[in-house]
Amino acid sequence: MNAPVAPGLPALLQKSERQSQVVRALQAHLPAHALIWNEEDTTPYECDGLTAYRMRPLVVALPETEAQVAAVLRTCHALGVPVVARGAGTGLSGGAMPDAMGVTLSLAKFNKILKIDVAARTAVVQCGVRNLAISEAAAPFNLYYAPDPSSQIACTIGGNVAENSGGVHCLKYGLTLHNVLRVRGFTAEGEAVEFGGEALDCPGLDLLALVIGSEGMLAVTTEVTVKLVPKPQLARCIMASFDDVRKAGDAVAAVIAAGIIPAGLEMMDKPMTAAVEDFVKAGYDLNAAAILLCESDGTIEEVEEEIGRMTAVLRGCGATAIACSDNEDERLKFWSGRKNAFPASGRISPDYMCLDSTIPRKRLADILLAIQQMEIKYNLRCCNVFHAGDGNLHPLVLFDANDPDELHRCELFGADILETSVAMGGTVSGEHGVGVEKLNSMCVQFTAAENEQMFGVKRAFDPAGLLNPGKVIPTLQRCAEYGKQVVRGGKILPFADLPRF
Ligand SMILES: Cc1cc2nc3c(=O)[nH]c(=O)nc-3n(C[C@H](O)[C@H](O)[C@H](O)COP(=O)(O)OP(=O)(O)OC[C@H]3O[C@@H](n4cnc5c(N)ncnc54)[C@H](O)[C@@H]3O)c2cc1C
């Protein structure tokens, strides 16, 4: 008599056979230490910063040269194996979450700064270089790389390019898109490609803008040329308190409407200031309903003039207290709370989900008040800290991932925030990308025809659909199912349920 076959065993056997096949094929191109596939070794790769969702990859490849990257891609293409590029894994939308039947291509070893050209004010860096490391290398020349995600100590420039990352100073200096001149990489077939060039413009279609923000779906980046900017002579930061969220939101719109582009314009609500103050003691006003941090940088004269104008606008909008940094230590202290907002949230809750949508500045107060109502509806707490000047929200929904019901309510809460943002004239994604997190909400933001056009772009670069499949663009079927479920009462559709591409 045959022994009974445990349910799921054929799939497991299939997976292990496929794993052996892929490992054997890759071993022809990579040294032994550059390939890992044992469960305990691949565990660190099973998620990115969106830790609620995990998947173990079939194999992790850690190439050290471009020739090895090309070989991995060519091999996977020949075998029909999905490839998910990975930088530091700090992404917050599940973009680097592995494919269960795919290779995770870690670019961690591409960590060299190749050239700093002081005359051209550019740096050529490998994709695995940390964002902050570029500014550190440029500092002796009084230059720096402007886009400064709060994760800059860890995240890579390759990840920044893939997500079109932003940061506190992007209001004035632009996003990754505005600070990158050239991207070199490889297609899904392993063919070398370059987008952009060393000059400000390059001939032909502007495919650089297409690749930046494409979340690893069009090509794998290996090398990037970034712009460097001179360090400002002086920077000062205003901290303004408001007794009403609406007044704070309106003040943000008023600063921009006054023709001022601050170097940073950030907002934190009361729950967030309480969490960070307890953590870093930045001197925040704990009685305020919201605080704004408004930075000015430039020459001494420019800063004095702008600080004066911003102070007048903030007073006019009803600020209850205004403090301005008098020296660099004080300025950094003001920012220390903002920069530590995520870890501070980690101290007050077992888990948090950081959402990322945009909203027209004039609707900031409306969305914050709507989020307060959602806290009651979903019975979960939410702290808000965000790039207010850009209208880029980052609600942090606090939950316990060990409680399936809390996770489910958190997903519903998140989808509600994203879709309310769209209803208020905003978008489902600001700077953290779509990944797997926002697939359902993409069905709300875009029509089926628009999503299909995005698939068209993907197919032009990657006809076999092997680079980061199942991310960013929802299928027609997903949208149809999500539509039905929303009608049925707002049930979230798990992203793994439906066929992709
Ligand atoms: C505490 C914290 C604060 C954050 N603050 C900000 C912020 O202020 N602003 C902001 O924009 N983001 C922020 N993020 C999100 C995150 O750091 C950024 O999205 C960052 O750009 C991800 O870089 P990474 O190297 O970690 O990429 P990963 O997470 O490894 O990957 C992100 C995406 O990029 C793709 N990818 C990575 N490398 C490559 C490559 N070489 N070629 C092709 N595709 C690639 C991956 O497939 C994936 O889709 C924050 C995250 C954390 C945890």
Determine, yes or no, domain membership for 462.
Answer: yes
Residue 374 and residue 319 share a domain: no
Residue 478 and residue 357 share a domain: yes
Query: What is the model's pLDDT at position 475?
Result: 87
On the CB side of 232, how many CA atoms lie within 13 Å of its CA? 18
51, 54, 69, 86, best to mutate for ligand 1 pocket (most atoms within 8 Å of CB): 86
What does the pLDDT look like over 131-147, one tens digit per residue? 999 999 999 999 999 99
Distance CA 110, CA 61 (A): 13
CATH of the domain at 406: 3.30.70.2740
The ligand 1 atom nearest the CA atom of 160? 21
Q: Does the beta carbon of 213 lie inside 6 Å of ligand 1?
A: no
CATH of the domain at 19: 3.30.43.10
Residue 457 and residue 331 share a domain: no
Query: What is the model's pLDDT at position 1?
Result: 42
Percent of the chain with pLDDT over 90: 84
CA 90 / ligand 1 centre spacing (Å): 5
Residue 159 and residue 64 share a domain: no
Structurally, the chain folds into a number of domains equal to 4
Residue 260 and residue 164 share a domain: no
What does the pLDDT look like over 86-138, one tens digit per residue? 999 999 999 999 999 999 999 999 999 999 999 999 999 999 999 999 999 99
**Residue at which a domain ends, from 287, 314, 343:** 343
Determine, yes or no, domain membership for 114.
Answer: no
Q: Does the beta carbon of 163 lie inside 6 Å of ligand 1?
A: yes
Distance CA 157, CA 224 (A): 8
Q: Does the beta carbon of 57 lie inside 6 Å of ligand 1?
A: no
Query: What is the model's pLDDT at position 417?
Result: 94
> Has residue 427 got a pLDDT over 50?
yes
Q: Does the beta carbon of 86 lie inside 6 Å of ligand 1?
A: yes
The ligand 1 atom nearest the CA atom of 176? 11
**Crossing angle of helices 341-348/270-280, nearest 10°?**
90
* β 357-358/392-393 pair status: antiparallel
Taking CA atoms only, the protein residue closest to ligand 1 atom 35 is 216
Residue 124 and residue 159 share a domain: yes
Lowest mean pLDDT among 57-61, 62-66, 124-128, 387-391: 387-391
Amino acid sitting at position 79: L
- Which of 46, 31, 47 is CA-nearest to residue 93? 47
Average per-residue pLDDT for the chain: 92
Q: How confident is the model at residue 490 (pLDDT cuts 50, 70, 90)?
A: low
CA 109 / ligand 1 centre spacing (Å): 16
Amino acid sitting at position 96: A
What does the pLDDT look like over 291-338, one tens digit per residue? 999 999 999 999 999 999 999 999 999 999 999 999 999 999 999 999
**Crossing angle of helices 328-339/341-348, nearest 10°?**
50
**Residue at which a domain ends, from 328, 343, 358:** 343
Query: What is the model's pLDDT at position 488?
Result: 46
Instruction: Kindly state the DSSP code that residue 89 receives in the 8-state scheme.
Output: S
Residue 266 and residue 323 share a domain: yes
Mean local confidence (pLDDT), 442-448: 90
Instruction: Name the more confident of 8 and 71.
Output: 71
Alpha helices in 62-122 (DSSP H): 66-79
CA 307 / ligand 1 centre spacing (Å): 33
**Residue at which a domain ends, from 343, 375, 410:** 343
Determine, yes or no, domain membership for 4.
Answer: no
Residue 326 and residue 208 share a domain: no
> Has residue 201 got a pLDDT over 90?
no
Query: What is the model's pLDDT at position 197?
Result: 93
The ligand 1 atom nearest the CA atom of 96? 48
Q: Does the beta carbon of 48 lie inside 6 Å of ligand 1?
A: yes
Domain housing 247? 234-343
148, 155, 434, best to mutate for ligand 1 pocket (most atoms within 8 Å of CB): 155
